[in-house]
Structure 1
Amino acid sequence: MNDEEVRRQITQMVKFIEQEAEEKANEINIAAEEEFDVEKRDVVEREKQKIREEYERKESAAEKEKRIEFSTRLNAARLRLLRARDDAVRGILAEARDELRDASDKPEYESLLVGLVEQGVAKLQATEAVIRCREVDAEKATAAMRRAEENAAAAGRELKLTLDTRAHLPPPPPPPPHDDDDDDASGEGGSARTRAATTDVASCIGGVHVLSVDGKVVCDVSLDDRLRVAFENNLPEIRGEIFDDGEDEIGDGDEIPGT
């Protein structure tokens, strides 16, 4: 083999080696780029996932806060409605009590006291009892006691009643305030303060308490107690008369008043 052939073979071998090296380098570059692309996609996807999770967390927190705020407002509105309903119903009770304010001035009041005394004695199941009344009713209560004793004697029963002179029921309620006078005297709001003060004063519209002789058992047959019992027993009917069915309910989809 001459020198020319040797150089040609060497040149071919160099070209082959260079081609192999170039192909290998290309393969390495392609593999590196593919690996880089995969890693880049993974990094981007992880960051996207973090962003999505953070957004979902904030969205969930905002939705939860919104539900809590709505629930708070809804409960507050329901409480305001219930208070308004209760005030309206209690207002009816106050009006009924005002109408009974002058019951003791009517001629039939003494007969009413007789019935109340007899009912109280019947509840005590006693032949002797103490009658406690308002101080202003002492004379009428005494007459009612005598009539109750006479009725018991006529029925063949023994009954002895004693008027309690050491303690009395609260006095009659004061007359209702005049709004015009209150407004002139104390300006706007004076009437409300006077009416509130009047309501806070202990008073009794009539009737009696029937006590055992030792004072340990008290049967309340006052007009105040009778009115309270009648009011509580008829409360569902009273509510039904002044409120529509379902008026006291605020649904989740209803507009909240006062917002």
Structure 2
Amino acid sequence: MGFLQVLRFPPTVQKHMLIKHMMAFIEQEASEKAEEIDAKAEEEFNIEKGRLVQTQRVKIMEYYEKKEKQIEQHKKIQMSNLMNQARLKVLKARDDMVSDLLNEARRLLADIAKEPAKYSALLEGLVLQGFYQLLEPKVTIRCRKDDVSLVEAAVQKNIPIYKEKVKSNIEVCIDQETFLSPDIAGGVEVYNANGKIKVSNTLESRLELIAQQMMPEIRVALYGANQNRKFMD
């Protein structure tokens, strides 16, 4: 109803109708304002919600990326540990094989003394080598008790040879009180006069020396050549 139409009514009615019209207008405006506020609030809510969701999404992605890196690092460490353990097992198995080989060689050394002619010739060489290594005018020899007579014969044979080669005399004493253990395979120990210098020419010590010198060749024979090895000593 328009304003001119309202004027046709009595003043009291006009006043009532104007008030009602104004209230309707205010209510309409308030309703529109409320809708505008609601729309703006909804928009701001959606924007804030989107921002929070995006922030949390980034945090979650960063968290799982960090977890993934930690897991990958843990896997690398585990793999490295497993490879090291496997490498150590292989090295131990190889060392055990070399040890078994040397133990077998030590066991076979005992058979040498069972052949008197061969063992006597070996003792002669070990005694003479002891003389040459010490180059002392007086030496003492220790041997197994069962080898005394063989060592005496080796000494008597080698004294002239030593004198001829070195152009010097040598006095040799065979220790008749302290003997080498009967458990060794054989050989001698040669000492200078005061006993401070020793040349160990037992069969076991010679085997150890040869094993050290030939260890690269032994490993190649057992396992093949190591492609990563640059030096063989």
Relative to the length of structure 1, the TM-score reads 0.71
* Structure 2 equivalent of residue 121 of structure 1: 131
**CA gap 1:4/1:61 in 2 versus in 1, 3 angstroms:** same
Structure 2 residue corresponding to 1:228, chosen from 208, 219, 222: 208
Q: Any idea what SS the aligned residue of 1:136 has?
A: helix
d(CA) in 2 for partners of 1:166 and 1:15?
136
- Pair 1:27 & 2:27 matched: no
Q: 5+ residue gaps in structure 2? A: 9-13, 229-233
Name the larger-Rg structure: 2
Q: How does 1:76-155 map to 2 (within 5 A)?
A: 76-106=85-115, 107-155=117-165
Identity %: 37
* Structure 2 equivalent of residue 72 of structure 1: 81
* Structure 2 equivalent of residue 160 of structure 1: 171
* Structure 2 equivalent of residue 205 of structure 1: 185
Relative to the length of structure 2, the TM-score reads 0.78
- Pair 1:243 & 2:218 matched: no
Q: Any idea what SS the aligned residue of 1:209 has?
A: strand
**CA gap 1:54/1:218 in 2 versus in 1, 3 angstroms:** same
d(CA) in 2 for partners of 1:158 and 1:53?
88
For the aligned residue pairs, the C-alpha RMSD in angstroms reads 2.9
d(CA) in 2 for partners of 1:154 and 1:21?
135
| One-letter amino acid matched to 1:231 | A
- Pair 1:214 & 2:194 matched: yes
Q: What is the aligned residue count?
A: 217
| One-letter amino acid matched to 1:48 | R
**CA gap 1:153/1:67 in 2 versus in 1, 3 angstroms:** closer
d(CA) in 2 for partners of 1:225 and 1:43?
80
Q: Which moved more, 1:92-101 or 1:225-234?
A: 92-101
Q: 5+ residue gaps in structure 1? A: 172-202, 249-259
* Structure 1 equivalent of residue 11 of structure 2: none
Tell me which of the two structures has the higher relative contact order, counting C-alpha pairs closer than 8 angstroms and 6 or more residues apart. Answer: 1
| One-letter amino acid matched to 1:127 | P
Structure 2 residue corresponding to 1:48, chosen from 57, 60, 71: 57
Q: Any idea what SS the aligned residue of 1:22 has?
A: helix
d(CA) in 1 for partners of 2:227 and 2:95?
13
- Counterpart contact for 2:113–2:119, Cα < 8 Å: yes
- Greater per-residue helix proportion: 2
d(CA) in 2 for partners of 1:42 and 1:120?
92
